[in-house]
């Protein structure tokens, strides 16, 4: 049975900005870091970066000194060579992989432990040159944005004989179809760019059809499920996270539903997740079988009024109600509700409630 393959890529920050690096020679700082940390090729006497470092890093940096420096330009990566023994200098062969399988690209960011190894990109294998070097097919190439790559932990999907995150040696590990399916599904649920998501969805459909992905089975499998919550938080609040005032108002409303005239409440969910990856601030369930979704904003409630429309529809879909069902209502809560927001809410049948900040005391 042919397998996909995961590669251990030495961290490269070439052309890193919104997207992960691996598209140029490392910065001078990263060259020095990789040499000092004895990265296998970076510190090898045959590596241009090692010689550049030894000469004081004066002048022009080396051009294309390694696979990592051209990874997301040439879309190819190698299995490496034997460094010692009778086969020293010979290519290591990928005897179990084949075109049509996948290459999963992983790295450790600076100061990360092995447990924190991330997935930074992937591609469908179009060709394997000399049983050593994989070359990407024209379709299905994915270079991940930096912040999204940081939510995808490789060891959620791969295991070892000791059930611990330990790559040990070598540049690659084989992966089964179930592992790759789960990875692709989690990547599709992480990326925000619609074109990238469509690319991954097409890969899943082509390789696995409509079969659901199996659960993650790596030694840190819980990081697969935790990823969904982390990604949803990032989408909702951005890189800065939720501010203190918003959190306090949300928690206070959760504890005081009577302020919104909500009666017969049976339960409340704070940060209610949906299958779409969205998160509603609060969802109240009522003994009568109806639900109330509440969106909180402190100062600018118009965006939350738009969100409330979406979350009301998602909650209807979750419970099998028609999208205009009276079994689900939506409320926007803010310190102040401007007249234009009141008009918008009235137009789309959203309740609104103004709560003064001193009420939190």
Return d(Cα 353, Cα 361) in angstroms, integer.
Answer: 18
Q: Is 336 exposed, middle or buried (0-12, 13-18, 19+ CB in 10 A)?
A: middle
30 close to 157: Cβ distance less than 8 angstroms: no
Q: Is 343 exposed, middle or buried (0-12, 13-18, 19+ CB in 10 A)?
A: exposed
- State residue 229's pLDDT score: 64
Break the chain into its structural domains and give their ranges: 4-11+78-237, 244-360
Q: Is 163 exposed, middle or buried (0-12, 13-18, 19+ CB in 10 A)?
A: exposed
Residue 186: pLDDT band (50, 70, 90) is very high
pLDDT tens column, 337-349: 989 899 999 999 9
Predicted confidence (pLDDT) at residue 116 exceeds the cutoff of 80? yes
Residue 253: name the closest of 277, 287, 281, 279 by CA.
281
Predicted confidence (pLDDT) at residue 34 exceeds the cutoff of 50? yes
Mean pLDDT lowest for which of 222-231, 276-285, 314-323, 335-344? 222-231
Sequence-separated (6 or more) residues with CB below 8 Å from residue 183: 104, 119, 122, 152, 157, 175
Return d(Cα 233, Cα 227) in angstroms, integer.
Answer: 10
Predicted confidence (pLDDT) at residue 235 exceeds the cutoff of 80? no
Residue 81: pLDDT band (50, 70, 90) is confident
Return d(Cα 93, Cα 87) in angstroms, integer.
Answer: 12
Stretch 193-209: mean pLDDT, rounded? 92
Predicted confidence (pLDDT) at residue 238 exceeds the cutoff of 70? no
- State residue 43's pLDDT score: 94
329 close to 316: Cβ distance less than 8 angstroms: no
| Percent of the chain scoring above 90 in pLDDT | 76
H-state helical runs in the chain: 28-36, 48-54, 71-74, 146-149, 177-188, 194-208, 222-237, 244-255, 302-319, 339-347
What is the rounded radius of gyration, in angstroms, for the C-alpha atoms of the chain? 25
Angle, CA of 129, 135 and 137, to the nearest 5°: 130
Angle, CA of 76, 81 and 86, to the nearest 5°: 160
Written as six digits, the tokens of 344 are 């918008």
Mean pLDDT lowest for which of 1-15, 76-90, 328-342? 76-90
Predicted confidence (pLDDT) at residue 239 exceeds the cutoff of 70? no
Residue 43: name the closest of 10, 77, 87 by CA.
10
Mean pLDDT lowest for which of 36-45, 55-64, 77-86, 216-225? 77-86
Stretch 201-229: mean pLDDT, rounded? 89
What is the value of pTM for the model shown? 0.70
> Regarding the domain delimited by 244-360, which CATH topology (the fold level of the hierarchy) does it fall under?
Trna Endonuclease; Chain: A, domain 1 (3.40.1350)
Give the start-end residues of each E strand in the chain. 4-8, 76-78, 102-107, 118-129, 133-143, 172-175, 265-273, 279-286, 291-296, 328-334, 351-354
pLDDT tens column, 119-159: 999 999 999 999 999 999 999 999 999 989 999 999 999 99
Written as six digits, the tokens of 336 are 């102040």
Stretch 327-355: mean pLDDT, rounded? 93
Stretch 273-299: mean pLDDT, rounded? 91
- State residue 361's pLDDT score: 47
- State residue 342's pLDDT score: 93
- State residue 358's pLDDT score: 46
- Taking phi first (over 0 means left), then psi (-120 to 50 degrees means alpha), and beta for anything else, what does residue 88 get? beta
């Amino acid at each position: 049975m042919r397998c996909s393959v995961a590669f251990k890529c030495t961290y490269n920050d070439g052309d890193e900005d919104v997207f992960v690096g691996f598209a140029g020679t490392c910065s001078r700082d990263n060259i020095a870091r990789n040499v000092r940390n004895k990265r296998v090729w970076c510190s090898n006497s045959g590596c241009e970066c090692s010689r550049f470092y030894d000469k004081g890093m004066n002048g022009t940096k080396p051009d294309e000194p390694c696979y990592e420096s051209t990874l997301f330009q040439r879309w190819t990566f190698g299995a490496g060579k034997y460094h010692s023994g009778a086969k020293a200098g010979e290519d290591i062969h990928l005897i179990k992989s084949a075109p049509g399988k996948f290459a999963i690209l992983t790295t450790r960011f600076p100061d990360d432990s092995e447990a924190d190894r991330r997935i930074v990109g992937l591609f469908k294998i179009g060709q394997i040159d000399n049983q050593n070097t994989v070359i990407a097919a024209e379709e299905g190439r994915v270079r991940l944005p930096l912040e999204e790559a940081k939510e995808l932990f490789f060891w959620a999907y791969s295991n070892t004989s000791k059930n611990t995150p330990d790559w040990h040696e070598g540049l690659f590990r084989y992966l089964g179809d179930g592992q790759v399916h789960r990875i692709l599904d989690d990547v599709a649920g992480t990326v925000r760019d619609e074109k990238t998501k469509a690319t991954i969805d097409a890969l899943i459909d082509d390789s696995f059809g409509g079969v659901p992905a199996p659960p993650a089975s790596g030694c840190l499998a819980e990081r697969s499920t935790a990823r969904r919550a982390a990604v949803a938080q990032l989408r909702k609040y951005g890189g800065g996270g939720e501010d203190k005032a918003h959190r306090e108002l949300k928690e206070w409303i959760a504890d005081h539903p009577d302020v919104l005239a909500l009666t017969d409440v049976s339960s409340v969910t704070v940060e209610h997740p949906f299958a779409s990856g969205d998160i509603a601030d609060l969802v109240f369930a009522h003994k009568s079988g109806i639900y109330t979704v509440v969106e909180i904003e402190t100062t600018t409630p118009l965006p939350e009024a738009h969100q409330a429309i979406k979350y009301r529809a998602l909650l209807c879909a979750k419970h099998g109600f028609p999208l205009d069902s009276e079994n689900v209502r939506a409320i926007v809560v803010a310190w102040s509700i401007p007249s234009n927001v009141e008009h918008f809410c009235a137009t789309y049948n959203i309740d609104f409630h103004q709560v003064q900040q001193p009420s939190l005391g």
